[in-house]
Structure 1
Amino acid sequence: MLKKLAVCALGLLVAAGAAPASAQVDLGNGFSATGTVTGATDYVFRNISQTRSRPAIQGSAELSHEVGLYIGTFASNVAFPNTNARQEVDLIGGYRRTIDNFTFDIGGTWYTYPGYSEQPGQYQLSYAEAILKLKYELEPVTFVGTAAWSPDFFGSSGNSLWLEGGADWKTPLHDIVISGRIGYQWIDNNARFGAPDYLAYSIYVTVPIAYGVSVAAGFYGTNISQSECGGLKVCDNRFIASVSWTF
């Protein structure tokens, strides 16, 4: 069974492609809120399709305080092979702090799949991850890194570790951002997960439009062959386009 079928992260709020620039609503007393609605041609998590290469509608919301604490949620449709899982709802929380050009984010995500019921021979899909995210801004380039660990990964596949690094370059043309990421996923029980440990890589472009709307497009790949992916195409290389509205 494939992980989720498994962005900054997110760990922070994750969605296919790049997230648009954050816009916040001041709620007073140090609190602020933001939300994003995204439509995408596919939903990939660590470059493996969660929707069997079909479109996704997603939403995320975050409530934060000026001391650095935040809570949030992310929701999307999913379609895992041979399961009745049709939606994902994640609960997110953590602490984020910026010091000069450096930002660190220590948090966790509980990935859940409401409505999913285990059939004979199947395993629980929900799992939790502890996530560390680092960001360093050296205009016009931002360097990012993510480490995520789970004691029992998707599909009860055991201990897992995800490491990812990359960079975002804000071009002088209309604040267009070109991003690149490379990461590696380790999983204890590969047979239960449905794929081997793997390399993931992506390059994508995000273009801000107006009023919180942005569009993104990019290439997402893994080094998993179709035979190593149970004969499925969810691990294949793919192009994804999305449009997001942040409010």
Structure 2
Amino acid sequence: MKNNVVAAATFALGLSLAGGTAGAFEIEGTGLTIGITPTISSDYLFRGVSQTQNRGAVQGTVDIQHSTGFYVGAFVSNVTFLGTNARQEIDALAGWRTTLGGVSLDLGGIAYTYPGYRNPEGSGLYDLQYYELAVKASYEIPSLPVPVKVLGAFNWSPNYQLETGNGYYLEGGVEIGLPYDLTLGGRFGYQWIQNNPRWGSPDFANWNVTLSYKFSDFVLTAGYFDTDLNRRECFAGQKICDARGMVYLSRTF
């Protein structure tokens, strides 16, 4: 299992630092467009909570979309969860993208998997794997001095991670285009979980403010991330819900 993580990390890092054709590329005659985005990051935060015990992450995303708007994709990252043997996350994504009245819509689903993770009988551990249905929307406000995009998302799982019942996540945000290829962004989200005692925290909010700089085929992002969970509320007192600065570098192909 560890060899798989090292191989995925090496692959993603190699893509991130090597040369190549910028932007997604089309397969002629098929209507398919493929995009690859490797990332190296100082942490892996999911809804404001560290998935790597406050350590760095090497990640990769693959997106394959047809001209009809239907797409499939995958995301891979290293992870570390206290008290488990999970070392990698591989997510499968599928859905449909379209534009209506200037609003970009993405209707899809995400399956979160952790290959190699074992939940021994009688251990008291619950299943990490789960899936969500997701709706995302974005709209660029016209006739403004600078580009301004508003974003929204809603995710629902009928049986959230650790078998905690219904999980609902609502998020809104804004992105503002600035001179010198800079983008200022902000997000605010809220997570509801049916079985909070099993999950390990109350329902919680998270937010972030980021500044991104695009150069060549790369995007460098630095930001501030936080949740409203205090140490006592954060998964048996772990230090993975605290405010933090984060930086990550992505390359698009």
CA–CA separation in structure 1 for the residues paired with 2:54 and 2:102: 37
Where does residue 244 of structure 2 map in the other structure? Answer: 238
Superposition map of 1:133-212 within 5 A: 133-139=136-142, 140-171=147-178, 173-210=179-216, 212=217
Where does residue 112 of structure 2 map in the other structure? Answer: 111
Superposition map of 1:56-135 within 5 A: 56-99=57-100, 101-119=102-120, 120-135=123-138
Over 3 Å off, 4+ runs: none
User: 2:185 aligns to what SS in structure 1?
Assistant: strand
1:220 aligns with 2:225: yes
Q: Deviations over 1:107-166 (max 9, x none)?
A: 000000001001310011000000000100115100000000000101111101000001
Superposition map of 1:2-41 within 5 A: 23-28=23-28, 29-41=30-42
Which residue identity lines up with residue 146 of structure 1 in the other structure? A
CA–CA separation in structure 1 for the residues paired with 2:32 and 2:99: 16
CA–CA separation in structure 1 for the residues paired with 2:103 and 2:246: 30
CA RMSD of the aligned region, Å? 1.1
Which residue identity lines up with residue 124 of structure 2 in the other structure? G
User: 1:117 aligns to what SS in structure 2?
Assistant: coil
- 8 Å Cα contact 1:112/1:125 also seen in 2: yes
User: 1:125 aligns to what SS in structure 2?
Assistant: coil
Q: Which runs of 5+ in 1 are unaligned?
A: 1-21
Return the structure number with greater helix share: 2
Q: Relative contact order (C-alpha < 8 Å, sep 6+): which is higher? A: 1
Q: Deviations over 1:72-124 (max 9, x none)?
A: 00000000011000000000000000235310110000000001001310011
Which residue identity lines up with residue 227 of structure 2 in the other structure? T
Which residue identity lines up with residue 249 of structure 2 in the other structure? V
Q: Which structure's CA Rg is the greater one?
A: 2
Task: Give me the TM-score of the superposition, normalised by structure 2.
Answer: 0.87
Which residue identity lines up with residue 122 of structure 1 in the other structure? L
User: 1:191 aligns to what SS in structure 2?
Assistant: helix
Q: Percent identity?
A: 40
Offset at residue 23 of structure 1 (A): 2.4
CA–CA separation in structure 2 for the residues paired with 1:33 and 1:66: 11
CA–CA separation in structure 1 for the residues paired with 2:173 and 2:252: 23
- 8 Å Cα contact 1:101/1:138 also seen in 2: no
Q: Which runs of 5+ in 2 are unaligned?
A: 1-21
Which residue identity lines up with residue 79 of structure 2 in the other structure? V
Q: Deviations over 1:196-244 (max 9, x none)?
A: 100111100111011x211001011000001011110111111110011
